[in-house]
Structure 1
């Protein structure tokens, strides 16, 4: 089954649920492809990165680099958008250990309404799809400031500026050079994160360009990362802990989508063929 080419705007407005563009297709045709409730699979993540970060190809612009990197963080670190918007680049709140991983201090999240602070983590893979590699590249190429200016106040040094979130607005100069709109800001007017609808619109455009469904959203990333981790053998209780789910019922019923292979193994093991 094939669908005629549609404009990017129409794809974004209407979407083609359950279909994706044929790999390598130059005609823009779509073929039937099941996505379990909008879950972004390993194949989808690879396709997204391969398209926007082609090996031996041109480097992506800063906005594309930022959005794909944030998508990888949502997928690998099981982040909600609310979590992503609270990923701050301050050295004390984003701990990066090269070649090992990163700890992300979330000052408030859906399951931390008192603002006591939670920690999300992401590890190092060392391959083309490594979220740590993309994160470190983004911080460098975006020229983020991670240590705010400090001044002595009553005998101790305190920060006097905000260095802001990872996800923020990008502008392009008259010469075509992209850069962050703000690198630092006064503490009285901190740098705002990119709004959800703006991020989602940009992200879906990147999905469409890579031949993925325009119906995917930020929840598709979190659910897809969890599903892939569990189906590839990660300990379910550890995944639940790292994803900061307080309820095992919510975790199992609404986020983990067991693969066909996993369900098949259950059926195969139901009868002991050795008897």
Structure 2
């Protein structure tokens, strides 16, 4: 028997010898007819395993293998079954999935395409072609990496459940061009509606049965049809079905509105068609030929216009998308510079803040996925799920901090990605405010340290040449005189201090309120008293023999001759500083719990305020951005407060 298809063909016979004779006859006939067989694609010696038109035929083992091809790009994945007209599966990666390794994406592509085409592949021998060599190895042998091994196990279990015999084979990328092309398709019109919109139209026109134009991430009904096969759709190519049997929901791509409306007329279907109010669109004259809805439209309403009521394409593009359309319109020379923006946007906040917001958003994502929300509902997020998320945090939190972090994390992530944040909703705002009220506790401010306390500490601890005691004395005096936070104090290096005849200058490289990291110089006057910060710090640096790059407040080692600096290249810990301060102050106060390291900054600020230092100089010295922040540190003198009522003339 000989089978021909265009310029491809193969022959078979009962045994090796008969097949050899037949092959020689065919070759001779072709040459006499003027055809020149291509040597590298022709086998004249009989074999028992051959690939013909993409189908593997194995006469030795007695099976025919239907091949599948797949590919995964940085934007999406795709695969197709070569013998089926509509056997194409396609999907878009989420933002998190894009950051995964190429091996992870290629392996996940196999997993998802196979799940989508199960109705075709079930009970078959499947030959799978991929242009990623790692995939072929991992499917057959597994992987040492847990995330890849997990997907490989999923593929194995799926094949066992559906009686699929899978063989994966690597092919060069040039032989996988169709799958490569399909994987890079970006849906521009894959927009959808929210469940809030579905509720509005269902209450007005009744229950709907099928979502005719949807995708895996935006389907609103259990039965839905997609452009490509995916794991949960009921079919593909909605136009190939009759629409008259079921009440349908129609949210078509804008380019298909005319075709959809005409088919609804032809099939006499009943359903809800959702289109934008776009009077310049090509479909508008069909819907409103004379400025009024045409006879085929029995009823209509205006839907909410806020973007939160709609979903954009999974890749962020389309009529409800973010920046993708703008990016696609850029000249090629500028496209490569787009990669500069994500890192810069991360730096729109301090590193610690950006890290906190990123972690906060990841907590929202984990909660959403664990509670049944799809990846398309995470960014952009919908109003009601976010409100429920805040409510769940409020039930378990002990302070307003977790709720605030969640609120601002979601808000920031939406802003830098070009989406309208659900935090602008009055519902979400009110839940947020309710949480802050419920979880807030009375603020008990710590008492400020006074100059009298400093005198008592100095008198007890000062000892000539004692580096250990001088360290905590200098830390206390500098924090008091410079209004220093503990983080600012611990970051001071010897090179940051400049001594002058009448004062010293200290450079604070970074501060909590220094948004742009310009740094700030503070100046502290020389007072020539026992509490003089300049004199005491000068002694401490001399006794410790500190070099320019040494941290001044580092750990110390005990020796037979006293103490000496240890680990000069890093400062002591916050907890060590706190304990040293508490031990120094404890003998001189009734309740040490009323004091903390901030008591030094507060004490210096209160002393300065009560002696009438100008407000502008006061704020600059303490590096405060607002009067409200500054005033929170000041404890007014009782005599100053009494002046108010004394001046009333009573």
TM-score, normalising length from structure 2?
A: 0.30
Aligned length: 206
Q: Give the C-alpha shift of residue 212 in structure 1.
A: 6.4
Q: After superposition, what is the alpha-carbon deviation per residue over 1:147-167, rounded to whole angstroms, capped at 9, x for unaligned?
A: xxxxxxxxxxxxxxxx22211
Match of 1:248 among 613, 623, 627: 627
- Kept after mapping to 2: 8 A contact 1:207/1:213: no
Match of 1:114 among 516, 534, 549: 516
Q: Give the C-alpha shift of residue 113 in structure 1.
A: 3.9
The 3 A distance-change label for structure 1 pair 213 and 95 is farther
- Mapped partners of 1:178, 1:219: distance in 2: 27
Q: Which residue of 1 aligns with 2:499?
A: 96
Q: Any gaps of 5 or more consecutive residues in structure 2?
A: 1-444
Match of 2:532 among 126, 130, 141: 130
Q: Which residue of 1 aligns with 2:579?
A: 201
- Mapped partners of 2:494, 2:590: distance in 1: 30
Match of 2:609 among 211, 214, 230: 230
Answering whether residue 570 of structure 2 is matched by residue 192 of structure 1, we say yes
- Kept after mapping to 1: 8 A contact 2:446/2:596: no
Q: Which residue of 2 aligns with 1:84?
A: 489
- Kept after mapping to 1: 8 A contact 2:504/2:524: yes
Answering whether residue 558 of structure 2 is matched by residue 172 of structure 1, we say yes
How big is the alpha-carbon RMSD for the aligned residues of Structure 1 and Structure 2? 2.0
More deviation, 113-122/70-79 = 113-122
Q: Which residue of 2 aligns with 1:158?
A: none
- Mapped partners of 1:236, 1:193: distance in 2: 33
Q: Which residue of 2 aligns with 1:144?
A: 546
- Kept after mapping to 1: 8 A contact 2:624/2:630: yes
Work out which of the two has the higher radius of gyration on C-alpha atoms and give 1 or 2. Answer: 2
- Kept after mapping to 2: 8 A contact 1:49/1:68: yes
- Mapped partners of 1:217, 1:113: distance in 2: 26
Q: Give the C-alpha shift of residue 213 in structure 1.
A: 4.3
- Mapped partners of 1:176, 1:139: distance in 2: 17
The 3 A distance-change label for structure 1 pair 211 and 61 is farther
Q: After superposition, what is the alpha-carbon deviation per residue over 1:52-94, rounded to whole angstroms, capped at 9, x for unaligned?
A: 12xxxx436212111111110000110000110121111xx21
Match of 2:597 among 202, 215, 218: 218
The structure whose residues are more often helix, as a share, is 2
The 3 A distance-change label for structure 1 pair 212 and 205 is farther
The 3 A distance-change label for structure 1 pair 212 and 121 is farther
Q: After superposition, what is the alpha-carbon deviation per residue over 1:80-130, rounded to whole angstroms, capped at 9, x for unaligned?
A: 00110121111xx211103x1111111111011432211222111111111
Match of 1:72 among 435, 456, 477: 477
Q: Any gaps of 5 or more consecutive residues in structure 1?
A: 1-35, 147-162, 184-190
Q: After superposition, what is the alpha-carbon deviation per residue over 1:223-271, rounded to whole angstroms, capped at 9, x for unaligned?
A: 010001111222222111111101111111x111111011112222222
- Mapped partners of 1:210, 1:170: distance in 2: 25
TM-score, normalising length from structure 1?
A: 0.70
Secondary structure of the residue that 1:37 maps to in structure 2? coil
Answering whether residue 451 of structure 2 is matched by residue 42 of structure 1, we say yes
Answering whether residue 460 of structure 2 is matched by residue 51 of structure 1, we say yes
Q: After superposition, what is the alpha-carbon deviation per residue over 1:200-224, rounded to whole angstroms, capped at 9, x for unaligned?
A: 0111111124556433221000001
